[in-house]
Amino acid sequence: MAVAHLTIDLAALTANWQALNSMSQTETAAVVKADAYGLGIDKVAPALAQAGARRFFVAAAEEGAELRQVLGSGPEINVFSGHMKGDTALIRDANLVPMLNSIDQMLRQVEALPGHAFGLQLDTGMNRLGMEDAEWRALRDIALAQKPTLVMSHLACADEPAHYMNAQQLQTFVDMTDGIDADRSLAATGGTLLGPDYHFDLTRPGVGIYGGMPFIDAKPVVRLDVPVIQSREVQTGETVGYSNTWTAERPTRVATIAAGYADGILRAMGDQACLWAGDTRCKVLGRISMDMIGVDITSVEGEPASLELLGPHQGVDMLADWAGTIGYEILTSLGHRYDRSYLTA
């Protein structure tokens, strides 16, 4: 088989959700947008529901409709993008709760689906989604009279605990929502770690559930093993891969492994990247190709059947560092052609 094998540890994933849940006195939701950060919403969401999650968040109504099929009736499914043109039937039929972002969305909602549950999203400084202060003040009493299920906002810099923006957004959120009769939510993973001031009635972690930073104590959830297709001896002075970017300075044994940038193994990781054969570290040699990568296996005894790219030795944030990105992007780029298996407790 020339496809890599991705193992997703659902027991570690639910343990991460439980650990985040135990950090607050309030309810903990689960963010499962983008196919549960690339790990498979059809497996991840039921495991989280089983662990006790009752509210889920997705980015788009289409994702919400798919999640409803997976979860059945019962859990609440909230949609960050709110109520877009064309969403009405999905919201009604899949019983989704749109997080309305503007007066326009509010009008669309009450005209198309009077009496249907909704939440509200406020902008507290990130300038991405949600009503700004003036808009909110104009709408606040009318909106609250319709009994929103949730009033939420999102932190821009919660992965940096000391950032001034956190306290500033917290204060703005309190100013905008003090005394209202609705559940409130401000914290994603980073905000959950900032402590009780940020927890309100509901926390909404995503990346920490999947084992990513800023949740330092997260259990690793993904393991990726890439099969070796062929290995060869490369002599001093010979090169490996496209554009001859790596030249052997000594005789080197090179394995060609079966995955590449088409599988989300970012080419930008360049020559910092390495893989593991057991406890032996093996450097990537030369350019990452679309479906193949050259790896130095000189120190490995025999030809390994596969090499570990993600697992106990290095997680998504290590790969992200090499590529100059974040663990979120590594997770959501995980390849569609990987053979996948799920570990349960």
Ligand X SMILES: *Cc1c(COP(=O)(O)O)cnc(C)c1O
Quote the CA–CA distance of 90 and 76 in Å, as a whole number.
14
Cross-strand partners of 73 = none
Q: What angle do CA 295, 298, 301 make, to 5 degrees?
A: 110
Closest to ligand X by CB, 55 or 340: 55
Closest to ligand X by CB, 49 or 129: 129
Closest approach of ligand X to the CB of residue 85, in Å: 21
Closest approach of ligand X to the CB of residue 31, in Å: 4
Q: Which stretch binds ligand X (CB under 6 A): 110-118, 162-170, 184-192, 227-235?
A: 184-192
154 counts as binding ligand X under rule CB under 6 A = yes
Q: Which of 205, 227, 286, 335 binds ligand X (CB under 6 A)?
A: 205
206 counts as binding ligand X under rule CB under 6 A = yes
Closest to ligand X by CB, 188 or 240: 188
The answer to whether the beta carbons of residues 295 and 282 sit under 8 Å apart is: yes
Quote the CA–CA distance of 259 and 224 in Å, as a whole number.
10
Q: Specify burial of residue 286 (Cβ count, 10 A radius: 0-12, 13-18, 19+).
A: buried
- Active-site option among 33, 37, 43, 338: 33
31 counts as binding ligand X under rule CB under 6 A = yes
Q: Which stretch binds ligand X (CB under 6 A): 172-180, 182-190, 233-241, 257-265?
A: 182-190
Q: Which of 188, 194, 323, 330 binds ligand X (CB under 6 A)?
A: 188
Quote the CA–CA distance of 56 and 73 in Å, as a whole number.
12
80 counts as binding ligand X under rule CB under 6 A = yes
332 counts as binding ligand X under rule CB under 6 A = no
Closest approach of ligand X to the CB of residue 343, in Å: 22
For ligand X, the nearest residue by Cβ is 206
119 counts as binding ligand X under rule CB under 6 A = no
Catalytic residue flag (residue 33): yes
Closest approach of ligand X to the CB of residue 80, in Å: 5
Closest to ligand X by CB, 65 or 213: 213
Which is nearest to 135 in space by CA: 146, 145, 124, 126?
Answer: 124
Quote the CA–CA distance of 284 and 313 in Å, as a whole number.
15
Residues that bind ligand X (CB under 6 A): 31, 33, 80, 154, 188-190, 204-208
